[in-house]
Amino acid sequence: MKKLLLSALVLTLAACNTTQGPPTTSKAAPKTEASGGVMSSLGALAGAATSGGSGSSSTDMKVGAGLDVLKAATISDADLKTVSLQMRARDDKKSKAPAGDKYAQRLARLTAKHVNEDGMTLNFAVYRTSSINANATADGSIRVYSALMDKMTDQELLGIIGHEIGHVKNGHTMARMRTAYLASAGRKAAASGSGVAGALADSDLGAIGEKLLNSQFSQSQETEADDYGLAFMKKYGYDAKAMESAMRKIAALGGAQTGLDQMLSSHPDAAKRADRMRDKLAQK
Ligand SMILES: [Zn+2]
C-alpha cells in the first residue's frame, strides 16, 4: 500500500515536470528536447509508458505509468552497466578504429593516464566516422569521433574528454541509460517482473540506442559537465582555455550534427557556454 502511495507521489511530480517541460517543436531538428535530471527522466518515462505522448491523459493511465516507473526503478546500476557494455560492443564492432590506426594512437596518447580517473575505470576509443561528435556511456566508455579529432587540437580534445568524463562521474549517463532502457527493451523485462535481461537481442540494443539518440542531456547537466571538464583541465595542468576554444569551434561548426551529446550538437547554446567558460577562467 505504501508503494502505491509513493507511486502516486512520484507520478504527480513526474506529470508536473512533463507539463512544465520545454515546448516540443516539430521542426526538422532530428532530436527532441527531452529528459533533464532525475525528475524529468521520470516525466519522460511516464510519457513514454503511456505510449509516447507528452500530453497528459487519464488518471488511470498515469497511475499505470507510475507503477511501470516503480518496477523499472528496481533495475540496478550494475545491470544497466551491463546493458551499456553490450550496446557499446555492438557499436564498436561497426565503427571502432583498430589499435594501430593513427587516430587511435593519438587518442591513446592523450588518454593513457586517465583510464583510472576519479574513482572510475574508463575506456577510450575512436570511431572512424564523418560525424563530429564524442560521447560517453554509463559503463565508462568514451568514444571520440575521428572527424572531431580533425577539428580539434590536443588540448581541446582533452577539454571535451574532461566534459564527457563529467557526464559519467555525475551520473548523467546512467540516468539517461535508465530512461532509454526502460522506454524500450526494458519495459518488457519490467512488465514480466524478470528485472533485467541477460544478453539482450540485437534488436533490443538497437531500440535502446535509438532512444539514447533521441534524448539529450539537460542544460544543467551540460553545465555540470562543463565545470567538471574545466576542473579536469586545471587539475592536470592542461590549457583550460582550450575548453572555451573547443566550444567556439563547435558553435562555429553549427550544422546538422547529431549524436549523444549536446555539447557537440548544433545547439545554439555552444557560444553562450563558451562565454561562460571564458568568464569562469577570468574569475581566477
Ligand atoms: Zn555534454
Residue 208 lies in a domain: no
Q: Which of 136, 176, 170 is nearest to 44 (CA)?
A: 176
**Dihedral angle at the C-alpha atoms of 228, 229, 235, 236, nearest 10 degrees?**
150
Residue type, position 205, single letter: L
- 253 falls within a domain: yes
What's the CA-to-centroid distance between 70 and ligand 1, angstroms?
Answer: 28
Average pLDDT over residues 101-118: 98
The one-letter amino acid code at 233 reads M
* Residue 116 covered by a domain: yes
Tell me: do 16 and 139 sit in the same domain.
no
Q: Is 224 a catalytic residue?
A: no
Q: Are residues 145 and 188 in the same domain?
A: no
Average pLDDT of the residues in 206-233: 88
When mean pLDDT is compared over 71-85, 115-129, 246-260, the highest value belongs to 115-129
Kindly state whether residues 42 and 167 are assigned to the same domain: no
Specify whether 15 is located in the same domain as 156. no
Of 157 and 269, the one with more pLDDT:
157
> Which three three-digit cell numbers place residue 209?
540506442
Task: Average the pLDDT over each of 9-23, 95-109, 125-139 and give the range with the smallest value.
Answer: 9-23
Share of the chain above pLDDT 70, in %: 63
139 lies in some domain: yes
Sign of CA dihedral 87, 93, 99, 103: negative
Residue 222 Cα to ligand 1 midpoint, Å, equals 5
Q: Are residues 107 and 131 in the same domain?
A: yes
- 70 in a structural domain: yes
Tell me if 210 is assigned to some domain. Answer: no
Asked if 46 contacts 18 with a C-beta cutoff of 8 angstroms, the reply is yes
Cα(77) to ligand 1 centroid in Å equals: 20
Q: Which residues surround ligand 1, an ion (CB under 5 A)?
A: 222, 225, 261, 263
Domain co-membership, 164 together with 190: no
Does residue 212 lie in a domain region?
no
168's CB contacts (< 8 A; 6+ apart) are 120, 122, 136, 138, 140, 142
Identify the band that residue 51 occupies on the pLDDT scale cut at 50, 70 and 90.
very low
> What mean pLDDT, rounded, does the chain reach?
74
Distance 191 CA to ligand 1 centre (A): 32
- Let me know if residue 85 belongs to a domain: yes
pTM above 0.75, yes or no: no
> Are 95 and 161 within one domain?
yes
pLDDT value for 26: 39
Query: Are residue 41 and residue 93 in the same domain, yes or no?
Result: no
pLDDT of 188: 62
Please give the residue range of the domain that contains residue 39.
Answer: 2-21+32-75+172-200
Total domains present in the chain: 2
Residue 209, pLDDT score = 83
Report the separation in Å between the CA atom of 134 and the middle of ligand 1, taken as the mean of its atom positions: 9
Q: Which one of 33, 117, 156, 164 is the catalytic residue? A: 164
Strand partners, 121: 116
Query: Is residue 166 located within the same domain as residue 181?
Result: no
Give the pLDDT score at 279.
94
Same domain for 187 and 132, yes or no, is no
Integer CA distances (angstroms), 186 to 4, 74, 208, in order: 21, 11, 9
Do 189 and 234 share a domain, yes or no? no
Rounded CA-CA distance 267/92 in Å is 26
Alpha carbon separation from 198 to 79, 109, 180, 203, 226 (Å, rounded): 9, 35, 17, 14, 35
Q: Tell whether 225 and 137 lie within a shared domain.
A: yes
